[in-house]
């Protein structure tokens, strides 16, 4: 009877811990972790991926599922999965921050709508960049690459008491700084163009004080801002490729995977 019980527990562990890591990634991952995605969809997708890959994964540790050690192992799997999903959120927020910077400069920051990923009110330009980045992310099969990486992570970081290293947490904090720098770089041309327009209005007001700068400058700034926004969309794919490559390299370093120079497996 004890042999049968051990066999059942090992069989459950072979699916439980992979399901914990995979479902944690889908819980936080861009697109699938959004509030607009039903919870049942995330659950069914996690179960489907787990059932498909569990037979080819390395053997799980022989730990009692009802022990304190099993709780620590489960916590480590949650942290690994959440870290992978969080990396995709940093990718999305880079472009959301770009849109918010441009929106504030073009006097369009007052317009807001509900963010589908968080359910909060955010500037409409930031939401526009978020939806555009989401479409590009799905078009380049970013979600499939994340699934491939989480499966490969079971070989590089096996299910055990050991999880992510301290270096991995430092890499995430450094990437947050890169996110702000990339957003500023993408919006820098729009900032300079709008600053030039505002400077020209300042010269006009100085030369002709009779002009009402508020009644003239506001509509001109909005029209110019829409035109500048249209020009900003031209290199959006180039910026996405660069940031997405950095996200892939971040995941490769965090998960200790052997990746190519461009970040792919």
In tens, the pLDDT along 239-260 reads: 999 999 999 999 999 988 887 7
pLDDT for the residue 117: 60
Q: What integer pLDDT is reported at residue 13 of this predicted model?
A: 81
User: What is the predicted pLDDT for the residue at 249?
Assistant: 92
Q: How many domains does the chain have?
A: 1
Q: Is the pLDDT of residue 2 over 60?
A: no
Q: Which helix (H) or strand (E) holds 129?
A: helix 124-139
Rounded to a whole number of angstroms, the distance between the first and last alpha carbons of the chain is: 44
In angstroms, what CA-CA distances link 14 with 18, 63, 95, 154, 241?
A: 7, 11, 39, 12, 36
Residue 264, domain member (yes or no): no
Residue 51, domain extent: 2-255
**Mean pLDDT calculated for residue range 12-28:** 90
pLDDT at position 103 is 81
**pLDDT, mean over the chain:** 84
Is the pLDDT score of 4 beyond 90? no
Global confidence as pTM: 0.85
Residue 133's pLDDT is what?
A: 92
Q: What is the pLDDT of residue 109?
A: 64
Structure confidence by residue, pLDDT tens digits, 123-159: 778 888 888 999 999 999 999 999 999 999 998 888 8
In a domain, 265, yes or no: no
pLDDT at position 65 is 81
Average confidence (pLDDT) over 99-120: 70
* Better pLDDT: 46 or 125: 46
Q: Is residue 210 predicted with pLDDT exceeding 60? A: yes
Please tell me the predicted confidence (pLDDT) of residue 262: 63
Beta bridge partners of residue 121, listed in sequence order = 114
262 in a structural domain? no
Alpha carbons 14 and 53: distance in angstroms, whole number: 10
Percentage of the chain modeled with pLDDT above 90: 32
Q: How far apart are CA 252 and CA 241, in angstroms?
A: 16
- The answer as to whether 261 is a domain residue is no
Catalogue the long-range contacts made by 12-16 (C-beta closer than 8 Å, 24 or more residues apart): 12/65, 13/60, 13/61, 13/63, 13/65, 14/54, 14/57, 14/59, 14/60, 15/50, 15/51, 15/54, 16/65
Q: Which of 3-17, 87-101, 112-126, 132-146 shows the lowest per-residue confidence on average (mean pLDDT)?
A: 112-126
């Amino acid at each position: 009877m004890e042999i049968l019980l051990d066999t059942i527990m090992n069989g459950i562990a072979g699916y439980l811990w992979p399901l914990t890591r995979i479902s944690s990634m889908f819980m936080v991952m861009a697109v699938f972790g959004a509030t607009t995605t039903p919870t049942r969809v995330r659950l069914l997708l996690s179960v489907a991926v787990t059932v498909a890959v569990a037979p080819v994964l390395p053997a799980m540790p022989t730990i009692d599922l009802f022990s304190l050690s099993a709780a620590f192992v489960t916590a480590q799997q949650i942290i690994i999965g959440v870290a992978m999903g969080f990396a995709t959120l940093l990718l999305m927020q880079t472009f959301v921050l770009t849109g918010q910077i441009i929106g504030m400069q073009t006097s369009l920051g007052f317009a807001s709508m509900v963010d589908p990923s968080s359910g909060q009110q955010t500037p409409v330009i930031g939401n526009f960049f978020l939806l555009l980045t989401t479409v590009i992310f799905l078009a380049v099969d970013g979600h499939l690459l994340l699934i491939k990486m989480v499966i490969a992570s079971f070989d590089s970081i096996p299910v055990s008491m050991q999880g992510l290293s301290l270096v991995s947490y430092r890499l995430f904090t450094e990437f947050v700084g890169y996110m702000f720098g990339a957003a500023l770089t993408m919006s820098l041309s729009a900032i300079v163009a709008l600053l030039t327009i505002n400077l020209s209005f300042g010269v006009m007001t100085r030369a002709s004080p009779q002009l009402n700068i508020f009644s003239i400058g506001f509509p001109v700034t909005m029209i110019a801002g829409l035109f500048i926004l249209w020009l900003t969309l031209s290199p959006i794919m180039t910026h996405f490729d660069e940031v997405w490559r950095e996200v892939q390299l971040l995941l490769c370093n965090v998960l200790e995977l052997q990746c190519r120079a461009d970040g792919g497996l």
